[in-house]
């Protein structure tokens, strides 16, 4: 008789599978018999369904609470983080002098300090920016004071910007005042007058705002001309320009009659303490001044103990010799155009700088609540 090894192998495997099936069936029956009698299976199913319903209810509530932002709304949220702060063009004035722009007739720019602050609870809308621009460090010379109401438009892929100018220009942020009361203003407020509507759109890593009608704003000095005011917001920069047009011919005036854009850089705010020694060469024993100052040409005038007028200055300036930016503080005698008595420098972005030549000590820290508390808690001789 012939031997069939393959057939025998199949028979053996079948027996093994059958025995495993019997073992698994017995194990399952054992587990069913060991389940607690006080917890019937239907109750477990009911609890499971209840949990599923709770999770579904919570998910529904979360979807209601979660706001769905459109692309333009997300852009606008980013602008609200990007724009607020202080900006100054003091560095541009140095470059003006370097290229021979020593007067307004030769194209020299004015010194402009720009404040931008968001009104978080404005009656005019969710996205409202207050701006204030001071000229030549003079709080009495406010050239622009406005409210910008920003509205996203998904159809045009732009952000609409409604402008409202203050009829009477009065310094607020430039003199350290709060602006919470501006939240109550509305479009019909007698303190405001409408300006030229603008649109804001992305331009690479920046945003540019242009007037809907470039002939909307009349030149106050010459009614035959109009001014197309534009501005650009970027990380640590705020630029604006006023392009002049002939209203009758509807043409742009030649470049030689235009002024180049104002280039403002973001200012970082510092708190400084100025200590005087008890005697010449002695240790500082008295903090005479706690000072708020910024690194884009900020200045503080004070009187030294011998009666001399001095000015503490702070710059984040360009070093032509080193071909790089340098963070400096210095003291000048008499005025900001007077001789420099002492200076100190550090890396751009440093959050602390100071000097102590013996006859005066100055310590400046980045303006934070913690640093303010630290300075007021220091002993003058520490």
Q: DSSP states of 333-362 as a string?
A: ESSTTS-EEEEEEE-TT-SEEEE--SS-EE
DSSP-based three-state secondary structure for 81: helix
Same domain? 320 vs 249: no
Helix (H, G, I), strand (E, B) or coil at 175: helix
Taking 70 as the threshold, does the pLDDT of residue 303 lie above it? yes
What is the reported pTM? 0.79
Could you tell me if 83 and 228 lie in one domain? Answer: yes
For the chain, the domain total comes to 2
Domain containing 342 equals: 269-377
- 76 found inside a domain: yes
How far apart, in whole angstroms, are the C-alpha atoms of residue 370 and residue 316?
Answer: 23
Rounded CA separation 123/187 (Å): 9
Q: Burial, 115: exposed, middle or buried (Cβ in 10 Å; 0-12, 13-18, 19+)?
A: buried
Which positions ≥6 away from 378 have C-beta within 8 Å? 273, 287
- Indicate if the pLDDT at residue 213 is higher than 60: yes
Look up the CATH number of the domain holding residue 141: 2.40.128.590
Is 329 found in the same domain as 301?
A: yes
Q: Does one domain contain both 364 and 320?
A: yes
Task: Give mean pLDDT, residues 93-101.
Answer: 93
pLDDT of residue 105: 87
pLDDT surpassing 80 at residue 255: yes
Would you say residue 277 lies in a domain?
yes
- To the nearest 10°, the Cα dihedral for 109, 112, 117, 122? -80
Quick one: 247 and 291 in the same domain?
no
pLDDT in tens, 22-78: 555 554 444 444 444 444 434 434 444 555 455 555 555 555 556 677 888 899 999
Note whether residue 100 is domain-resident: yes
The CB density around residue 345, as the number of other CB atoms within 10 Å, is 16
Whether 143 and 254 share a structural domain:
yes
In a domain, 108, yes or no: yes
Q: For the chain, where are the alpha helices, taking DSSP H only? A: 5-33, 41-65, 71-82, 90-98, 369-377
Spatial neighbors of 347 by CB under 8 A, at least 6 apart, are 327
């Amino acid at each position: 008789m012939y031997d069939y090894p393959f057939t025998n192998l199949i028979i053996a495997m079948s027996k093994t599978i059958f025995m495993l099936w019997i073992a698994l069936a017995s194990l399952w029956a054992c587990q069913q018999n060991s389940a607690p009698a006080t917890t019937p299976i239907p109750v477990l199913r009911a609890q499971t369904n209840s949990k599923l319903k709770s999770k579904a209810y919570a998910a529904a509530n979360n979807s209601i609470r979660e706001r769905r932002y459109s692309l333009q709304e997300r852009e606008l949220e980013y602008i609200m983080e990007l724009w607020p702060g202080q900006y100054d063009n003091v560095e541009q004035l140095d470059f003006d002098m370097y290229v021979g722009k020593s007067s307004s007739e030769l194209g020299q720019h004015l010194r402009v300090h720009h404040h931008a602050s968001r009104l978080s609870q404005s009656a005019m809308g969710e996205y409202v920016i207050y701006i204030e621009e001071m000229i030549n460090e003079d709080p009495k010379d406010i050239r622009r004071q406005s409210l910008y109401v920003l509205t996203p438009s998904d159809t045009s892929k732009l952000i609409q910007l409604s402008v409202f100018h203050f009829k009477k220009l009065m310094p607020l942020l430039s003199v350290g005042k709060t602006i919470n009361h501006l939240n109550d203003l509305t479009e019909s407020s007698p303190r405001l007058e409408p300006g030229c509507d603008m649109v804001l759109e992305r331009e690479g890593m920046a945003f540019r705002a242009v007037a809907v009608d470039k002939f909307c704003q009349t030149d106050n000095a010459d009614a035959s001309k109009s001014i197309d005011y534009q501005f650009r917001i970027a990380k640590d920069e705020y630029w604006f320009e006023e392009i002049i047009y002939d209203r009758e011919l509807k043409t742009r005036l030649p470049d030689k009659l235009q002024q180049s854009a104002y280039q403002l850089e973001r200012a970082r705010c510092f708190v400084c303490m100025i200590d005087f020694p008890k005697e010449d060469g002695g240790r500082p024993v008295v903090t005479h001044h706690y000072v708020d100052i910024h690194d884009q040409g900020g200045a503080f005038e004070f009187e030294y103990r011998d009666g001399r007028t001095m000015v503490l200055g702070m710059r984040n300036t360009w070093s032509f010799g080193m071909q790089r930016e340098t963070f400096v503080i210095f003291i000048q005698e008499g005025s900001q155009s007077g001789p420099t008595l002492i200076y100190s420098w550090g890396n751009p972005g440093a959050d602390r700088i100071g000097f102590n030549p013996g006859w005066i000590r100055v310590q400046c820290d980045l303006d934070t609540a913690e640093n303010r508390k630290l300075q007021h808690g220091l002993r003058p001789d520490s």
